[in-house]
C-alpha cells in the first residue's frame, strides 16, 4: 500500500513554496522601477567657505633683502596680518593646498617651496592646529612628485602629513559656477577646519601666470585637461567655490618661462618674496609686479573683477609692502 | 611536532617546510616592495637613492639572480655573462652536490604548488599513492627545456614563459595583486560607510592593504590570460600533485640534468620494507621511492616525505661518495633523465621552428612597430628579445602604470614583454626605476642625467589635427604644451588662422611638435582631453635604441 505524505510534511512543503514565492515577489518588488544610473547624484557640500570672521583684509608683500630665510619672510607676513592665531584655532585640522604638480626638484620653482611650506605648517601647529595636511592632486606621479619636490621631507620635518591622491578621495559635487556646475572635488582640500592656499608664482603657457586662484585647478579631479577650453571662467568658478582662510603666495623663487613645468635654472628668478592676505583677487594682483605684468594681461583676474569676486585695485591702505 | 602532522621526530622534512614557507613569504615580501614607497618608508628609500634617481632599497631581483634558468637562457642567447651570476652558480653547485634541493626547499612556485596538493579528502591513501607513480609525462619538461634552449641559442629567449620564478612574479604582481587590490578597494569603500566604530576598518584598511597590493588601481593588458593560466596551473595539482613541477617546469628539468652526480642518495633497505606503500602517498616528485622500483634521482624534489613516512626506517637519505651497488636494494637508482632520442630531436627542431616562424611573422626586429614603445634604456629590439624573460618586474615598479605587457605588438616572440600604453600613464621625465631592476639587462641601467641629457628618445609625438581641439577650430586647449617636461618645451604654440564656423575664421594658439626636442615620454598623450584615441599620440619612430626606426638625420 502506498504511503501518502504526513500532514507535517505537507505543511513543510507548503511553507517552503510560500517562502520561495514571497522571496521572488520581494526581490522583484525591490528591483521594480530601478533604472540604470545616468548621472551620479552630486554631493552638495555644506560649505567650502573657510574664511574667519574679523580677519584683517590687508595684503602683505614681504620682500627679503640679503639673506633673509623663507621662514623669516613667512613669520613677518603673518605677524603683519595679526598672527596665525587670528586664523587658526586650537584643535583645527588645516588643509595646506600646495602646488605640488611636477616631478622637479625645489630649485626649479615648479612646486611650492618646501621651506615656505614647512614654515607655514610650523606656524599652524604653533597656533594649536591638531593636524596639518599637505594636499594637492599632482600632475606627475604622486610619490615621485612629493618626494623630489622636497615636500615629503618638509612635511616630516615640520610635523605635517602628506595626503596622497587616490581614486577614493574624489567626489562629484555641485560647484554652482557659471561654467562648472558639477565637478569632481579632491575631498582632502575641503575636509578640514581651515584651508590655506599656498601656491608658487610661476609662468603658464595658456593663462600667462599661475598664482593663487589658478591653484584651485589642483583641488579638483576629473578630466582636468578639458578645463583649458574655458580656463579663465573655470578658474573664476573654482575661486568662488573655494574660499580659503588665507592665501600665501610663495615667490621666493619664481618661474619666468617654459611654465608651468619649467625644467631649467634659466627659467627661474630668485625674488625672495612672500605675499599673504585673505582677498584672493588682490593677493594675485599683488604678484604681478614681480613679473612686470599688468592685470589686463591676466584673463581670469579681469573676469573675477567683472563677476564681483573682488576688486583688482586695492583699497587705500590695504596693500602693505615691507622689506626685511 | 604533532602540529606539523609529523609522525617522526623533527627531521629533514621539518626543515624543508620551514625553508619553503620562508622563501615563499620572502618572495611575496619582495614582490610587494617592488614599488615606490610612501610616507615613512622614504627614509629607507633615501638610503638607496642616488641624486634624483630613485632606487628601491629591497633586493627585488633576488630570486631572478638565484634562478639558473634565467642565467643560462640569457647566457646562451647573448654569449655574455649576466649580472649577479654568482647566486645562480651557487644554486647549481648545491644541485651538483645534493640534487634538486631548489625545487623542494627554495622555489616559491614549488611551495605554492605543494600547498595546493594538500589534503584531497576524497582520495584514500592507495589512490593518492597511485597519482605519485612515475609517469612518462615527466620527460615533457626536458623536451621543453631543450626547445627553449635551442631557441635561445638562435636568439629568441622564451625561457621566461615557463620559468617558475618569472611565471609566479608575473602572475602575482600583474594579475593577482591588482585584482585583490581592486576587490579590497571596493570592500573598504563599503565598510567605510558602516556605522561607527566599524567604519574605522574601512579607513585604516587601505593603509595596511595598499603597500601589499599596490598604491592606486593598476591595469595590465592581458592580465586575464596570465591570471587565468596561474589559476589553471594551481588547479592542475588536483589532477596530479605538482603537475607543473613534474611535467612542465624547464628549471626543474635543468636542475634534473645537473643532479646526476649528486652524492645525497636515497638508500632503500629491501629487508626492512613491508611494502606498506606509505612512501608514495605524499611523494612530491613522483620519483619512485618504493624499494620495488628504481629511484629517479632527476625527479626527486628532496621533499623527504618518504623518509618521514616510512614506518620501518627502510628509506634513508645519506651522503655517499661512492655509488652503492645492487645491494641492499636490488634496483639501482636511475641517475639521469631517460629521454627518448627522437623526442629530443623533435624538441630541438621545435625550438628552431619557433624562432623561424617567429621571425618570418614580421616580428618587431624586422619591421618597426609604431605601438611598440619600449622603456627607456631598452636595448635594440633583437638584443632585447635575447634577454627579456617577461618577469614583469619593470611593469610592477613603474610609478605611472604606463608599462604593460605586450600581446602581439612585439610579434609572437615578444609576447608579454614591456611596452608603454599612453592611455594608462606616461614615462616620468627623470624616472629611471625600471632600468635599475631588470634582472637580465634587457633594459640597461641608466640615470636621470643620461636619460635627459643624451637624450634617450623612446618615441616621437605627433598631433592628430583632425582630433586636436584648437586645430579643428573647437577652441583653446594646449594641455599638451602645459605638461611637456622638456625645457625648452618640445610642444610649442603658434598662432594659426582656423575655421571656427562655416563662414568664420579665428586666430587660435595651436600646438606644434619640435621633433628634435621630443623624447617620446607621452605625458601629452596621457593628459590630452580627447580620451581614448588622443589628439596627440606617440609612435616608436625616432627611438634612439634603433638604428633604423628613425626620422631625423642624427646630428
pLDDT tens for B7-58 read 556 789 999 999 999 999 999 999 999 988 876 555 555 555 555 688 888 8
Which tens digits make up the pLDDT trace of B149-184?
A: 999 999 899 999 999 999 999 999 999 999 999 999
Residue B531 covered by a domain = yes
Closest CA to B517 of A111, A264, A265, A110: A264
Read off the pLDDT band of B100 (50, 70, 90).
very high
Smallest CA–CA separation between A152 and chain B, in Å? 7
Kindly state whether B529 is in contact with chain A, defined as any CB-CB distance less than 8 angstroms.
yes
Kindly state whether B475 is in contact with chain A, defined as any CB-CB distance less than 8 angstroms.
yes
What is the C-alpha to C-alpha distance for residues A52 and A120, in angstroms, rounded to an integer? 17
pLDDT at residue B328 in the model = 53
In this structure, the number of other CB atoms found within 10 A of the CB of residue B454 comes to: 12
B495: containing domain:
460-539
Read off the pLDDT band of B5 (50, 70, 90).
very low
pLDDT at residue B119 in the model = 64
Q: Do A147 and B216 touch (CB under 8 A)?
A: no
pLDDT at residue A237 in the model = 94
What is the C-alpha to C-alpha distance for residues A100 and A164, in angstroms, rounded to an integer? 11
Torsion sign across C-alpha atoms B216, A41, B204, B112: negative
- Decide: B77 and B441 in contact? Cβ < 8 Å: no
- Decide: A146 and A232 in contact? Cβ < 8 Å: no
pLDDT at residue B324 in the model = 61
Chain A interface, best mutation among B192, B475, B478, by max A CB count within 10 A: B478
> For B535, phi and psi rounded to 5 degrees?
-75, -15
What is the C-alpha to C-alpha distance for residues A51 and A240, in angstroms, rounded to an integer? 12
DSSP class of residue A59 equals E
> For A247, phi and psi rounded to 5 degrees?
-115, 130
**Which residues have a Cβ under 8 Å from the Cβ of B137 and sit 6 or more positions away?**
B246, B247
Torsion sign across C-alpha atoms A191, A197, A202, A204: positive
Interface of B with A in 216-245 (CB under 8 A): 216-217
Q: Beta partners for B498? A: B506
Q: Do A167 and B217 touch (CB under 8 A)?
A: yes
CB-defined contacts A:B, below 8 A: 104
Instruction: Quickly list H helices, B192-301.
Output: 199-213, 223-236, 243, 250-258, 278-281
Residue B481 covered by a domain = yes
pLDDT at residue B54 in the model = 82
**Which residue spans within A146-292 are E strands per DSSP?**
161-162, 170-174, 182-186, 194-198, 200-204, 208-210, 246-255, 268-277
pLDDT at residue B51 in the model = 59
Higher-confidence residue of B5 and B292: namely B292
Domain A59-323: CATH class, spelled out: alpha beta
Q: What is the mean pLDDT of each run of 10 residues along chain A (324 residues)?
A: 80 94 90 73 74 93 93 96 95 97 94 97 97 96 90 92 90 89 93 96 94 96 91 95 96 94 93 96 96 95 94 93 94
- Decide: A250 and A116 in contact? Cβ < 8 Å: yes
Read off the pLDDT band of B1 (50, 70, 90).
very low
> For B476, phi and psi rounded to 5 degrees?
-70, 155
DSSP class of residue B458 equals -
Tell me if residue A301 falls in helix, strand or coil.
Answer: helix
Burial B80-116 (b: 16+ CB within 10 A, else e): eebebeebbeebbebbeebbbbbbbbbbbbbbbbbeb
Chain B interface, best mutation among A164, A208, A210, A228, by max B CB count within 10 A: A228
Radius of gyration of chain B (CA): 28
Residue B19 covered by a domain = no
Torsion sign across C-alpha atoms A137, A143, A148, A152: positive
**Closest A-chain CA to B54:** A144
CATH number at residue B534: 3.30.70
**Which residues have a Cβ under 8 Å from the Cβ of A10 and sit 6 or more positions away?**
none
Which tens digits make up the pLDDT trace of B345-368?
A: 999 999 999 888 888 876 555 678
What nine digits make up the cell of A87? 586664523
Chain A interface, best mutation among B50, B192, B482, by max A CB count within 10 A: B482
Residue with cell string 634541493: B101
Q: If interface means Cβ-Cβ distance under 8 Å, which residues of chain A face chain B?
A: 102-103, 105, 139-141, 143-144, 147-148, 152-153, 156, 162, 164, 166-168, 204-206, 223, 225-226, 228-231, 258, 260-264, 266-267
Structural element, H or E, at residue A68: none
State the total domains in chain B: 1
Per the prediction, chain B carries an average pLDDT of 89
Residue with cell string 517562502: A19
CA distances from A209 to A179, A206, A214, A255 (A): 21, 8, 8, 9
Higher-confidence residue of A39 and B462: namely B462
Interface of B with A in 427-456 (CB under 8 A): 428-431
Read off the pLDDT band of B3 (50, 70, 90).
very low
Residue B137 covered by a domain = no
Task: Please list every residue in chain B whose beta carbon sits closer than 8 Å to the beta carbon of residue A231.
Answer: 476
All structural domains of chain A with their residue ranges:
1-34, 59-323
DSSP class of residue B53 equals B
CA–centroid distance for B147 within its chain: 20
Smallest CA–CA separation between A150 and chain B, in Å? 11
Residue B520 covered by a domain = yes
DSSP class of residue B216 equals S
Q: Do B430 and A148 touch (CB under 8 A)?
A: yes
What is the C-alpha to C-alpha distance for residues A201 and B199, in angstroms, rounded to an integer? 40
Residue B522 covered by a domain = yes
Q: Beta partners for A98? A: A198
Q: Do A143 and B487 touch (CB under 8 A)?
A: no
DSSP B11-44: -HHHHHHHHHHHHHHHHHHHHHHSS---GGGHHH
What is the C-alpha to C-alpha distance for residues A244 and A135, in angstroms, rounded to an integer? 14
What is the C-alpha to C-alpha distance for residues B255 and B24, in angstroms, rounded to an integer? 20
Higher-confidence residue of B4 and B547: namely B547
What is the C-alpha to C-alpha distance for residues B309 and B313, in angstroms, rounded to an integer? 9
Chain B interface, best mutation among A40, A110, A141, A159, by max B CB count within 10 A: A141
CA dihedral A59→A60→A61→A63, nearest 10 degrees, is 180
- Decide: B42 and B29 in contact? Cβ < 8 Å: no
**Which residues have a Cβ under 8 Å from the Cβ of B283 and sit 6 or more positions away?**
B129, B132, B289, B303, B305, B306
Question: Span B193-209, mean pLDDT?
Answer: 86
- Decide: A101 and A165 in contact? Cβ < 8 Å: no
Task: Please list every residue in chain B whose beta carbon sits closer than 8 Å to the beta carbon of residue A187.
Answer: none
DSSP class of residue A103 equals S
Task: Please list every residue in chain B whose beta carbon sits closer than 8 Å to the beta carbon of residue A221.
Answer: none
Complex confidence, ipTM: 0.84
> For B412, phi and psi rounded to 5 degrees?
-70, -30
- Decide: A115 and A154 in contact? Cβ < 8 Å: yes
Task: Give the per-residue SS3 of B105-131.
Answer: HHCHHHHHHHHHCCCCCCCCHHHHHHH
Tell me if residue B378 falls in helix, strand or coil.
Answer: strand
**Which residues have a Cβ under 8 Å from the Cβ of B329 and sit 6 or more positions away?**
B267, B268, B269, B270, B291
- Decide: B202 and B190 in contact? Cβ < 8 Å: yes
pLDDT at residue B49 in the model = 55
CA distances from B39 to A142, A147, A289, B178 (A): 11, 9, 38, 21
Which tens digits make up the pLDDT trace of B495-517?
A: 999 999 999 999 999 999 999 99
Amino acid at each position: 500500500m502506498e504511503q501518502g505524505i504526513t500532514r507535517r510534511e505537507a505543511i513543510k512543503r507548503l511553507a517552503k513554496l510560500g517562502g520561495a514565492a514571497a522571496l521572488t515577489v520581494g526581490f522583484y518588488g525591490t528591483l521594480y522601477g530601478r533604472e540604470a544610473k545616468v548621472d551620479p547624484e552630486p554631493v552638495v557640500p555644506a560649505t567650502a567657505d573657510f574664511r574667519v570672521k574679523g580677519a584683517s583684509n590687508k595684503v602683505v608683500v614681504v620682500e627679503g633683502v640679503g639673506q633673509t630665510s623663507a621662514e623669516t619672510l613667512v613669520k613677518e607676513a603673518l605677524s603683519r596680518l595679526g598672527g596665525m592665531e587670528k586664523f587658526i584655532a586650537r584643535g583645527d585640522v588645516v588643509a595646506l593646498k600646495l602646488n605640488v604638480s611636477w616631478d622637479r626638484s625645489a630649485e626649479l620653482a615648479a612646486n611650492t617651496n618646501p621651506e615656505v611650506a614647512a614654515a607655514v605648517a610650523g606656524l599652524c601647529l604653533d597656533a594649536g592646529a591638531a593636524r596639518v595636511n599637505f594636499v594637492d592632486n599632482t600632475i606627475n606621479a604622486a610619490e615621485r612628485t612629493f618626494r623630489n619636490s622636497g615636500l615629503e621631507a618638509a612635511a616630516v620635518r615640520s610635523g605635517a602629513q602628506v595626503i596622497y591622491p587616490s581614486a577614493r578621495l574624489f567626489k562629484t559635487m555641485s560647484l554652482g559656477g557659471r561654467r562648472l556646475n558639477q565637478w569632481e572635488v579632491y575631498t582632502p582640500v575641503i575636509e578640514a577646519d581651515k584651508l590655506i592656499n599656498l601656491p608658487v608664482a610661476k609662468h603658464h603657457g595658456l593663462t600667462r601666470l599661475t598664482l593663487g586662484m589658478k591653484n584651485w585647478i589642483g583641488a579638483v579631479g576629473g578630466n582636468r585637461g578639458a578645463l583649458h577650453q574655458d580656463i579663465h571662467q573655470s578658474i573664476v568658478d573654482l575661486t568662488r567655490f573655494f574660499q580659503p582662510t588665507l592665501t600665501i603666495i610663495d615667490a621666493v623663487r619664481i618661474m619666468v618661462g617654459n611654465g608651468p613645468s619649467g625644467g631649467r635654472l634659466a627659467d627661474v628668478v630668485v625674488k625672495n618674496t612672500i605675499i599673504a592676505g585673505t582677498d584672493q583677487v588682490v593677493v594675485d594682483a599683488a604678484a604681478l609686479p614681480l613679473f612686470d605684468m599688468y592685470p589686463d594681461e591676466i584673463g581670469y583676474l579681469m573676469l573675477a573683477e567683472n563677476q564681483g569676486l573682488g576688486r583688482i585695485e586695492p583699497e587705500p591702505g590695504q596693500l602693505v609692502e615691507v622689506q626685511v | 611536532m604533532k602540529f606539523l602532522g609529523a609522525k617522526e621526530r623533527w627531521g629533514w622534512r621539518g626543515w624543508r617546510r620551514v625553508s619553503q614557507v620562508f622563501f615563499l613569504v620572502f618572495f611575496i615580501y619582495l614582490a610587494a616592495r617592488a614599488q615606490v614607497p610612501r610616507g615613512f618608508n622614504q627614509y629607507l628609500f633615501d638610503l638607496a637613492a642616488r641624486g634624483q634617481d630613485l632606487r628601491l632599497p629591497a633586493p627585488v631581483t633576488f630570486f631572478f639572480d638565484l634562478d639558473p634558468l634565467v642565467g643560462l637562457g640569457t647566457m646562451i642567447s647573448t654569449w655574455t655573462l649576466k649580472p649577479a651570476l654568482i647566486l645562480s652558480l651557487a644554486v647549481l653547485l648545491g644541485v651538483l652536490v645534493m640534487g634538486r634541493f631548489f625545487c623542494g626547499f627554495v622555489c616559491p612556485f614549488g611551495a605554492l604548488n605543494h600547498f595546493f596538493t594538500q589534503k584531497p579528502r576524497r582520495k584514500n591513501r592507495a589512490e593518492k599513492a597511485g597519482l605519485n607513480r612515475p609517469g612518462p609525462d615527466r620527460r615533457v619538461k626536458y623536451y621543453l627545456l631543450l626547445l627553449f634552449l635551442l631557441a635561445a641559442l638562435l636568439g629568441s629567449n622564451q625561457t621566461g614563459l615557463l620559468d617558475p620564478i618569472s611565471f609566479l612574479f608575473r602572475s602575482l604582481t600583474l594579475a593577482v595583486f591588482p585584482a585583490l587590490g581592486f576587490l579590497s578597494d571596493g570592500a573598504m569603500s563599503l565598510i567605510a560607510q558602516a556605522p561607527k566604530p566599524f567604519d574605522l576598518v574601512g579607513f585604516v584598511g587601505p593603509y595596511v592593504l595598499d603597500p601589499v597590493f599596490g598604491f592606486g588601481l593598476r591595469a595590465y593588458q592581458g592580465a586575464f590570460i596570465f591570471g587565468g593560466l596561474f589559476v589553471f596551473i594551481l588547479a592542475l595539482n588536483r589532477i596530479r600533485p605538482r603537475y607543473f613541477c613534474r611535467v612542465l617546469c624547464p628549471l626543474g628539468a635543468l636542475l634534473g640534468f645537473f643532479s646526476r652526480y649528486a652524492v645525497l642518495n636515497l638508500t632503500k633497505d629491501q629487508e626492512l620494507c613491508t611494502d606498506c606503500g606509505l612512501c608514495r602517498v605524499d611523494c612530491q616528485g613522483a620519483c619512485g621511492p618504493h624499494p620495488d622500483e628504481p629511484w629517479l634521482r632527476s625527479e626527486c624534489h628532496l621533499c623527504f616525505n618518504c623518509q618521514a613516512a616510512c614506518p620501518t626506517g627502510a628509506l634513508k637519505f645519506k651522503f655517499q661518495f661512492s655509488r652503492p651497488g645492487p645491494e641492499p636494494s636490488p634496483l639501482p637508482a636511475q641517475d639521469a633523465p631517460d629521454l627518448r632520442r627522437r623526442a629530443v630531436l623533435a624538441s630541438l627542431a621545435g625550438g628552431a621552428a619557433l624562432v623561424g616562424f617567429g621571425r618570418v611573422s614580421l616580428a618587431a626586429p624586422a619591421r618597426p612597430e609604431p605601438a611598440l614603445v619600449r622603456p627607456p634604456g631598452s636595448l635594440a629590439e633583437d638584443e632585447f628579445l635575447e634577454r627579456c624573460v617577461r618577469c614583469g618586474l619593470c611593469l610592477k615598479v613603474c610609478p605611472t602604470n604606463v608599462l604593460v605587457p605586450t600581446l602581439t605588438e612585439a610579434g609572437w616572440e615578444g609576447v608579454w614583454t614591456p611596452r608603454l600604453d599612453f592611455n594608462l600613464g606616461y614615462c616620468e621625465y627623470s624616472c629611471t626605476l625600471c632600468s635599475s631592476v631588470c634582472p637580465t639587462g634587457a633594459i640597461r641601467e641608466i640615470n636621470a642625467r643620461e636619460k635627459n641629457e643624451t637624450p634617450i628618445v623612446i618615441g616621437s609625438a605627433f598631433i592628430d589635427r583632425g582630433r586636436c581641439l584648437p586645430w579643428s577650430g573647437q577652441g583653446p586647449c594646449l594641455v599638451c604644451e602645459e605638461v611637456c617636461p622638456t625645457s625648452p618645451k618640445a610642444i610649442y604654440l603658434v598662432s594659426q588662422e582656423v575655421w571656427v564656423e562655416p563662414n568664420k575664421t579665428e586666430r587660435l594658439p595651436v600646438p606644434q611638435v619640435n621633433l628634435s626636442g621630443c623624447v617620446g615620454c607621452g605625458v601629452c598623450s596621457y593628459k590630452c582631453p580627447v580620451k581614448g584615441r588622443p589628439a596627440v599620440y606617440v609612435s616608436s619612430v625616432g627611438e634612439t635604441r634603433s638604428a633604423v626606426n628613425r626620422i631625423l638625420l642624427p646630428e
